[in-house]
Structure 1
């Protein structure tokens, strides 16, 4: 496929998610919904009306429409006949720089030359290609798979060039420049004429061009940005509605209240009061941080067989998100694509994740669903993670209260453990597949050797997270007490049996003196306040 010049240095992948044939009966409608991917609509018969991006389009046979990610739309048939549509759901993925061997991609939007109703001589070609793609998809035999893929890529190529002969490529850059300005100056009094001047276009041409590319007017797009920031600021119970309105560019508080309720279905006050009940978390460790702050998330990653200590909380989490792991034949992107759709349907007030995930998986896509807060995972320790999340949610007092209680508990436990085992060494060893690992500063070492002051038989402070070791290393450590965390797959179990049968293992003082205990990987290998709090309880139960 030949890409436009501004894409030549990027590696782009296009993924077809679903192709549906939808028949809307006379007088009925397709309910209002929000896109989680690109959506290409083809009017295959009948007549209807499409409402998207604050505009109405006549849906007549032969017309085609492209909607971007995060756009609300609804379709109704006109009285006197039904309406038949083909709906193609697909994603545009961009490769990301990575130090890993596996390539990573993020979903992107806003890169096609036209959005809304497609114009130009290419529409007829797009129409024919999409009908042939539907015909190939309807064929049940496996040999049609290659043909579907070829037709889908051909369709994408036509979308990339749709209307190119009618508009200079620089126009896309003009629109993106004004969007960047809106993001920076949303709190100011911005009008269409000023934005058009920034783009270097006449106001009339700018509005039309913006609508064709983004599917809505520039002012409607600006309102979306303002409302996103308003939702974030309403997390602070100390902020008045008037203050939030003014800080987000709304001079008229009454107008702000009307716009906010029209978008969210609730008043700003109601949203603020219940905002902490609708927080979604995408990064698994931060579920524990929210629980420590007294918040049960609306949506969170759940893997019931993996984090047994959290099972008591799972029933109170309405939306269970998938974990980013390659299991059951799923690709990493397919898991996150499903998560994106679940989040869009749940409508959280705020989305919390680590900084790497926000960049690698979704980029700015998540902001179409709700305001996002990222936590610097590697830059901060777990206490600073808790404080950072509390500051995002305006819950600083809760964080300090929890930490004060934890420090007192750890100090008391430290005295008890010193009386029980003195300076004898204790080590946690993990068995995963055929590998042995020990841990350092950003894992169980933080609570065992820092908070509780136990003696470690190796230089734990030199290990950031985890270090693979061999049996010779374990023998040299020769811990007095041993915590053994093993995975449950067949290969890990076989490795355990080989260890138990070896002379080096039997010679360990912890093994010889029966001071070894088998533990679940979770919470022992988790870096979070809730896990560390539980580790103290478990350790006291074993050693005192």
Structure 2
């Protein structure tokens, strides 16, 4: 394989907190990005990744790197033209994590060699390049730990010892344990017990009438009392109490996260919707619901629901809302006596009280509403200096469109404009959202602009257009762009989570770039 040093460009980048950098905007190059210090986010092809110290990324498309470090986020970038590329096939697998103490001197030496023009410097650069590629594609830190995780997951009833796992990875037990903990954040034993508890919750929830003893045996614990103690220590309740959360087996067939309402009422559904593309890092649901839904059959709401996936959970009752494209309007006819059809509602509390009425938890719903109202009042008082002056507009910048939200008919707008005291621009439309251009936003001329749910690369692209700077809020530095990817005020748990994060997030969320 013949490579030429002039094909490659190397640069170092340093970003302060809140700043973003566009990478490979013209999409004409391949790149290796290495984070040498700090942390942030990397967005490419609508995939959102954590940018963390020691990690490398192979990029084939444009990307946005954003710093969330109080200190600098520092990175190195190596790029080469796609035309005539000879390295892509080597970089199709994940790249190994490598500590900066090992990698930063190599990057600096490569950078220095690339700047020099002598033949020896060019040879030195290519030698260093191959050395770096060898380190980053070393399977020891990638494949072996992934294989160990799968071995543990698939052998719960007869688990491997650390010595056996280390031997399979061709490592010493001490080195293996250190590498495993670096990758998973847990020791092998902790990981084994975590996987046992996930499987136990699935068995308890999905198998009507199963006993704790039967579950213990299936996950490799012969002593049911030890299993109960372990379960309680990790989950905060014994298995018998956990099973009562699904004493009435309820499946949610909806494109709304109604499982949020059920869980807040103390009931875990046997099946519930998920969005694997939107929440790829947390099993298709917001991270604050992930642990609460362990054991629940997650239904892919990005596609038409499959009736067998629902019925195999043997639900006693199905809570169903109208679906996009009328999915499953007649598919569950054989189970109609079990289906409770819930019409779409304008207020999160309407869902809460109707579901509470279904399951006999009305008094608990009243306590939940009172608790959340108290939180809203506290946040409203805290944000008063920010919200009392200026006319606000709320937008969602998407890959192909911009949505401008109105004054109501949406859980988030009700929270902002009624619950938290934000003042909507008087010329906003009454309800829902509209597709608009930047020119129309500039004509609206809001004093303050709140950007929600938007990916960094879409915001960065929009902020580098001529019309963007014509918006009053942009010119006066009153654009707020909080981390809101998981904000969902339609359910009690999501609403509480948003209220907990909102004050500190909004106050430090002025868009700096």
TM-score (norm 2): 0.44
Larger-Rg structure? 1
